[in-house]
Chains A and B, each alone.
Chain A
Amino acid sequence: MNEHLKKKLLVLFLLLGIAVVFGLAQGSVHIPLNSLLLKDNQVIFNMRLLRILAAILVGSGLAAAGIVLQAILRNPLAEPYLLGTSSGAGLAAVIAVILGVSRIYMPLAAFLGAVASIILVYSLASERKKIADRSLILSGVIVSIAFSSIIVFLVSLFGNQALHEMNWWLWGSLQVYDWQLVLLVALPVALGIGVIYLFAQDLNAIQLGEEEAIHLGIDTQNVKNILIIVTALITASLICICGIIGFVGLIVPHMMRQVVGSNHKALIPVTCLAAAIFMVICDIVSRTLFAPVEIPIGVITAIIGAPIFIILLKRGQKVQ
Chain B
Amino acid sequence: MKPLLRIANLSAGYSGEDIIRGVSLEINAGDFIGIIGPNGSGKTTLLRLCSKVLRPRKGKIYFDNKDIFAMDLKGFCRKVAFVSQDISTGFSFSVMELALMGRIPHLKRLQFETRKDIEICEKALALTDSLGLKEKIVNELSAGERQRAIISRALAQEPVLLLLDEPTAHLDIGHQIQVMDLLKKLNHQNNLTIIMILHDLNLASAYCNRICLLDNGNIFKEGQAEDVLTYKNIEAVYKTVVLVNTNPVTKRPNVVLVPKEI
Q: Is B truly associated with A?
A: yes
Q: Which residues of A contact B (CB under 8 A)?
A: 71, 74, 76, 198, 201-202, 204-205, 207-209, 211-212, 214-219, 257, 261-263
Mask for B32-68, Cβ within 8 A of A = 1, else 0? 0000000000000000100111000000000000000
Contacting residues, chain A, for B78 (C-beta < 8 A): 217
Residues of A within 8 A of B81 (CB): 215
CB-defined contacts of A263 to chain B, threshold 8 Å: 93-94, 97
Q: How far is the CB of A5 from chain B (nearest CB, A)?
A: 12
Question: In the bound complex, do residue B77 and residue A217 qualify as a contact, i.e. CB atoms below 8 Å apart?
Answer: yes
The distance from the CB of A206 to the nearest CB of chain B, in whole angstroms, is 10
Select one of B48, B51, B87 contacting A208, CB under 8 A: B87
Compute how far the CA of A261 lies from the CA of B135 in the bound complex, rounded to whole angstroms. Answer: 12
Interface size, chain B (Cβ < 8 Å)? 29
Contact A211 B53 (CB under 8 A): yes
Looking at the complex, which one of B77, B84, B87, B101 makes contact with A201 (CB distance below 8 Å)? Answer: B101
B102 at the interface (CB under 8 A from A): yes
User: Is B73 part of the contact surface with A, judged by Cβ < 8 Å?
Assistant: yes
The answer to whether A198 touches B110 (Cβ under 8 A) is: yes
Which of A207, A212, A214 meets B91, CB within 8 Å?
A: A207
Complex contact B137–A261 (CB within 8 A)? yes
Residue of B nearest to A209 (CB): B87
Interface centre among A204, A205, A261, A262 (most CB of B within 10 A): A262
7 A-B pairs (CB sep. < 8 Å): A71-B91, A74-B90, A208-B87, A215-B51, A216-B77, A218-B104, A262-B92
Q: Indicate whether B105 reaches chain A with its CB closer than 8 angstroms.
A: yes
Asked if B102 and A212 sit within 8 Å, CB to CB, the answer is no
Given A217-B76, A261-B137, A263-B97: A76 touches B90 (CB 8 Å cut-off): yes
List the B side residues contacting A216 at CB < 8 Å: 77, 101-102, 104-105, 157
Known A-B contacts A212-B84, A212-B87, A261-B92; the reply to A198 vs B101 at CB < 8 A is no
Q: Across the interface, which residues of B come within 8 angstroms of A217, CB to CB?
A: 73-74, 76-78, 104-105
